[in-house]
């Protein structure tokens, strides 16, 4: 058996095991804790902006992984393109 086939099987097995463990370990969760939800709803009813601040904070926290992955992808693309140009291969 060639080394490429062994690597491919290893990657497939690793992927399947990681997916299996991810779904096995997951626990049921609620969207928000009841106290936070009730507090935000009552504040919005009274004219406050606490709920809007919570939503903005959630969006802020969710944006970081996308920026990190995008930055890593850009650096990878730039380095790949630079090495292809140095080798003289069309990219």
Note the pTM of the prediction, 2 decimals.
0.46
Separation between Cα atoms, residue 31 and residue 38, nearest integer Å: 13
Written as six digits, the tokens of 77 are 């693309």
* pLDDT tens sequence for the chain (91 residues): 688 888 899 999 999 998 888 877 666 666 667 777 788 788 888 888 777 888 888 888 899 999 999 999 999 999 998 888 888 766 5
Written as six digits, the tokens of 79 are 């380095």
The sign one gets for the Cα dihedral 48, 50, 56, 60 is positive
**Residue-level pLDDT at 29:** 60
Domain boundaries, the chain: 3-87
**Residue-level pLDDT at 25:** 67
**Residue-level pLDDT at 72:** 96
**Residue-level pLDDT at 32:** 61
């Amino acid at each position: 058996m060639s080394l490429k086939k062994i690597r491919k099987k290893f990657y497939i097995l690793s992927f399947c095991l990681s997916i299996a463990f991810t779904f096995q370990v997951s626990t049921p969760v609620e969207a928000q804790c009841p106290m936070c939800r009730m507090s935000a709803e009552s504040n919005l009813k009274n004219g406050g902006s606490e709920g809007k601040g919570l939503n903005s904070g959630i969006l802020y926290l969710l944006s970081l992984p996308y920026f990190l992955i995008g930055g890593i992808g850009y650096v990878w693309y730039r380095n790949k393109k630079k090495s292809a140009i140095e080798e003289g291969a069309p990219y």
